[in-house]
Amino acid sequence: MSVLVVGSIALDTIETPFGSVEDALGGSAVFFSASAANFHPVQVVGVVGEDYPTDSLDVLRDRGVDLSGVTEADGESFRWSGVYSFDLNSRETRETRLGVFADFKPRIPQEFRSPRIVFLGNIDPELQLNVLDQVESTDLVACDTMNLWIDQSREALLRVLERTDILMVNDSEVRQLAEEPNLLKAAQWVQDRGPQTVVVKKGEHGAMLVDRDSVFFLPGYPLEEVFDPTGAGDAFAGGFLGYLASAEEWTPSELRTAVVFGSAMGSFAVEDFSVHRLASARMEEIMDRVREFRKITSFEVRIPEPERV
Amino acid sequence: MSVLVVGSIALDTIETPFGSVEDALGGSAVFFSASAANFHPVQVVGVVGEDYPTDSLDVLRDRGVDLSGVTEADGESFRWSGVYSFDLNSRETRETRLGVFADFKPRIPQEFRSPRIVFLGNIDPELQLNVLDQVESTDLVACDTMNLWIDQSREALLRVLERTDILMVNDSEVRQLAEEPNLLKAAQWVQDRGPQTVVVKKGEHGAMLVDRDSVFFLPGYPLEEVFDPTGAGDAFAGGFLGYLASAEEWTPSELRTAVVFGSAMGSFAVEDFSVHRLASARMEEIMDRVREFRKITSFEVRIPEPERV
């Protein structure tokens, strides 16, 4: 019982205040699987162009990721190019060249059709629906989306939500989707449309989990050196869902722990370009960060004794 | 052994997406003392103009705040007017009329000169230094500042920092002060210049405490209705320092608990204009929020059992 991810496999050209990289391994399916593979077997469905340096995907194969659902199509690979601001909190897209991704029609291999968990990476909601139509059985559907689809494919996206258990989006995305600035209310708006669990990723400010009965907050992992935020959200999703796939039961408590693992994986993703750091994280290192999260969030509840009030 | 606060006593004219208010009780000393008075006796030093509705300060007197250090000067009271954005995360100042505040020279009454804690509200660093010169003995000095002073009075501000134990500022302010986008590094920069403890307020994203040996994060209190963010930072400072004033020892653990009380008080401040909600908060309600903070931040550390990695 694997985790199935359908998403982009890209070549990223990125400039941050700390350096730049050209045609580096990227895309939601890549970051997700490099992260989730620490916890559970992962199956990837995606497409690359003739020019893709497929050998470089060995970094995923070496971690046991099943890439037999990745097809090669005639044409150029999907490329994204962006530049980050001084404080890494905002970025500007310089160029998006869809290439073979423009005609991508996910075909889920027969042996991938009964995963324990499906992660629909940030792709056209029509394609996300098409993936769900091909899945024969699964215990949990999670999906990501972005402002482009919220703007242009709202109808299809709402149909995806009806069939989704966990929506994982940025704070700005959930606000835009629900047309509601208050994050709690925005998450409740989503819950009314399908997903009973909403995970809101807030970058350096951490993550929020809104479940049926409770809300949970975790800060971002405190790093002195953030190198490149690209892929942090997908690494988070990989840690979150990979951990859940390894858990027997999906209790509210396990969902919270999954957020902590997701955040730990996101913190590795941003420490280097591409998946370099993410793919080299060992379980001891991951557990160190999980325990550090506990240290930096713990406090005692005390009743004050006012001298005179 | 009281908490002494020196800061502004203002009349605020505010517009938010949810309503507006004119000439409402405001200013750092007002929000601070309305909050801190829940925990410890507070002494206020400040100035008002002839036009100030001094009866309205009864809301502070009723909570035991000592206003005998508030003087009335010839002229108009300090007025601030601002408008908040749709999501309340940014605001624009429409008008600042300093009035009697322009010539404010704090005079600390003899009986105020040995407080347990001094809070230097956000005023000209030269005045903050002048206050410290008048204090004969104290156990702890905390101060706030803002972008204006960081820009225009950097030298004096650095002299204040040398004499400060706890700096309490916004994330954008500490970044600007240290000229460093990374919050951890920015806090360390501050620690090298005096204050061994740095509290970074991040609005809806909560607060960060950087101490000698550790860092602590608390999210913002999750509210479905945020009415007016004005004064949240000073209410936070009041809860934080008021709680500390009521504590016997200032252990790292007590500092964390103080952040939780500060955040709880900040959450009351934003639920209504001016100090209305803040000044009516009962200790049971405050404790409810402190316990709720515990609920929304707790998680279990588990070691995953990967099926195969």
Interchain contact, B309 vs A218, CB within 8 Å? no
Locus of tokens 């990227």: A26
For B205, the closest of A181, A205, A304 (CB atoms) is: A205
Q: Rg for chain B (alpha carbons), in Å?
A: 19
Interchain contact, A303 vs B287, CB within 8 Å? yes
In angstroms, the separation between the Cα of residue B274 and the nearest Cα of chain A is: 21
Interchain contact, A41 vs B307, CB within 8 Å? yes
Interchain contact, B306 vs A38, CB within 8 Å? yes
Interface membership of B176 toward A (CB under 8 Å): no
Residues 253-272 of A with CB under 8 A from B: 253-254, 256-257, 259-261
Domain with residue A57: its CATH number is 3.40.1190.20
3-state SS, chain B, equals CCEEEECCCEEEEEEECCEEEEEEEECHHHHHHHHHCCCCCEEEEEEEECCCCHHHHHHHHCCCCEEEEEEEECCCCEEEEEEECCCCCCEEEEEEECHHHHHCCCCCCHHHCCCCEEEECCCCHHHHHHHHHHCCCCCEEEECCCHHHHHHCHHHHHHHHHCCCEEEEEHHHHHHHHCCCCHHHHHHHHHCCCCCEEEEECHHHCEEEECCCCEEEECCCCCCCCCCCCCHHHHHHHHHHHHHHHCCCCCHHHHHHHHHHHHHHHHHHCCCCCCCCHHHCCHHHHHHHHHHHHHHHCCCCCCCCCCCC
Does residue B182 lie in a domain region?
Answer: yes
* Mean pLDDT value of segment A25-29: 96
Cα(A153)–Cα(A147) distance, integer angstroms: 10
Element (H, E) at A68: strand A66-73
Interchain contact, B205 vs A206, CB within 8 Å? yes
Pairing of strands A66-73, B140-143: unpaired
Share of chain A above pLDDT 90, in %: 90
Q: Does B53 score more than 90 pLDDT?
A: yes
Element (H, E) at A48: strand A42-49
Confidence of residue A309 (pLDDT cuts 50, 70, 90): very low
Interchain contact, A88 vs B181, CB within 8 Å? yes
> How far is C-alpha A12 from the chain's CA centre?
17
* Neighbouring C-beta atoms of residue A151, cutoff 10 Å: 10
* Angle, vertex CA B270, rays to CA B119 and CA B251, nearest 5: 40
* The pair of three-digit structure tokens given for residue A66, joined into one six-digit string: 């099943």
Instruction: Count Cβ neighbours within 10 Å for each residue of B175-203 and write b for 16 or more, e otherwise.
Output: bbbbebbbbbebbebbbebbbebbbbbbb
Does residue B302 lie in a domain region?
Answer: no
Chain B residue with CA closest to A61: the answer is B309
- Closest by CA to B233, choosing from B128, B126, B138, B142, is B142
> How far is C-alpha B226 from the chain's CA centre?
18
Does residue A309 lie in a domain region?
Answer: no
Q: Does A87 score more than 70 pLDDT?
A: yes
Interface membership of A61 toward B (CB under 8 Å): no
Q: What is the pLDDT of residues B175-193, one digit of tens each?
A: 999 999 899 999 999 999 9
Cα(A87)–Cα(A304) distance, integer angstroms: 38
Kindly report which listed range (A38-42, A269-273, B194-198) carries the lowest average pLDDT score.
A269-273
Which residues make Cβ contacts (< 8 Å) with residue B141, sequence separation at least 6? B117, B118, B120, B132, B135, B163, B164, B165, B166
Cα(B254)–Cα(B261) distance, integer angstroms: 10
For B205, the closest of A88, A202, A309 (CB atoms) is: A202
* The pair of three-digit structure tokens given for residue B28, joined into one six-digit string: 């750092």
Interchain contact, A296 vs B247, CB within 8 Å? no
* The pair of three-digit structure tokens given for residue A190, joined into one six-digit string: 């989503």
Q: Does B76 score more than 60 pLDDT?
A: yes
Pairing of strands B42-49, A42-49: unpaired
Interface membership of B283 toward A (CB under 8 Å): yes
- Closest by CA to A301, choosing from B14, B278, B218, B204, is B218
pLDDT of residue B18: 85
Does residue B304 lie in a domain region?
Answer: no
Query: Phi and psi at residue B285, in whole multiples of 5°?
Result: -70, -40
Nearest-10 crossing angle of helices A232-246, A252-269: 140
Interface membership of B55 toward A (CB under 8 Å): no
Q: Does A100 score more than 80 pLDDT?
A: yes
In angstroms, the separation between the Cα of residue A74 and the nearest Cα of chain B is: 33
B89 and B17 Cβ atoms separated by less than 8 Å: no
Interface membership of A107 toward B (CB under 8 Å): no
Confidence of residue B266 (pLDDT cuts 50, 70, 90): very high
In angstroms, the separation between the Cα of residue B124 and the nearest Cα of chain A is: 28
Residues 153-172 of B with CB under 8 A from A: none
- Cβ contacts of B302 on chain A, cutoff 8 Å: 247, 254, 257
DSSP code of residue A224: S
Q: Does B122 score more than 50 pLDDT?
A: yes
* Mean pLDDT value of segment B199-224: 94
* The pair of three-digit structure tokens given for residue A7, joined into one six-digit string: 């998403």
Interchain contact, B299 vs A205, CB within 8 Å? no
Chain B residue with CA closest to A201: the answer is B205
pLDDT of residue B309: 45
* Mean pLDDT value of segment A85-105: 88
Interface membership of B102 toward A (CB under 8 Å): no
Cα(B16)–Cα(A182) distance, integer angstroms: 14
Between B87 and B252, residue with greater pLDDT: B252
* Mean pLDDT value of segment B274-298: 95
Q: What is the pLDDT of residues B135-179, one digit of tens each?
A: 999 999 999 999 999 999 999 999 999 999 999 999 999 999 999
Interchain contact, A306 vs B88, CB within 8 Å? no
Interface membership of B175 toward A (CB under 8 Å): yes
For residue A293, the one-letter residue type is: F
pLDDT of residue A307: 62
Residues 64-93 of A with CB under 8 A from B: 64, 86-88
* Neighbouring C-beta atoms of residue A75, cutoff 10 Å: 17
Cα(A117)–Cα(B127) distance, integer angstroms: 61
pLDDT of residue B88: 79
B127 and B7 Cβ atoms separated by less than 8 Å: no
Interface membership of B215 toward A (CB under 8 Å): yes
B48 and B28 Cβ atoms separated by less than 8 Å: no
Q: Does A86 score more than 90 pLDDT?
A: no
Does residue A303 lie in a domain region?
Answer: no
Does residue B309 lie in a domain region?
Answer: no
Between A161 and A305, residue with greater pLDDT: A161
Q: Is A104 helix (H, G, I), strand (E, B) or coil?
A: coil
- The mean pLDDT value of chain A amounts to 94
- Cβ contacts of B222 on chain A, cutoff 8 Å: 183-184, 215, 217
Q: What is the pLDDT of residues A136-189, one digit of tens each?
A: 999 999 999 999 999 999 999 999 999 999 999 999 999 999 999 899 999 999
* Mean pLDDT value of segment A267-277: 93
Best A217, A221, A260 residue to mutate vs chain B (most B CBs within 10 Å): A217
Interchain contact, B306 vs A226, CB within 8 Å? no
Does residue A305 lie in a domain region?
Answer: no
Which residues make Cβ contacts (< 8 Å) with residue A55, sequence separation at least 6? none
Interchain contact, A246 vs B304, CB within 8 Å? yes
Interface membership of B189 toward A (CB under 8 Å): no
Confidence of residue B307 (pLDDT cuts 50, 70, 90): low
Q: Does A91 score more than 90 pLDDT?
A: no
- The count of domains in chain A is 1
- Residue B79 belongs to domain spanning: 3-297
Cα(B77)–Cα(B48) distance, integer angstroms: 5
Does residue A304 lie in a domain region?
Answer: no
* Neighbouring C-beta atoms of residue A309, cutoff 10 Å: 15
Interface membership of A224 toward B (CB under 8 Å): yes
Q: What is the pLDDT of residues A109-141, one digit of tens each?
A: 999 999 999 999 999 999 999 999 999 999 999
Question: How far is CA A10 from each of CA A41, A55, A157, A273, B114, rounded to the nearest angstrom?
Answer: 21, 14, 23, 13, 65
In angstroms, the separation between the Cα of residue A225 and the nearest Cα of chain B is: 8
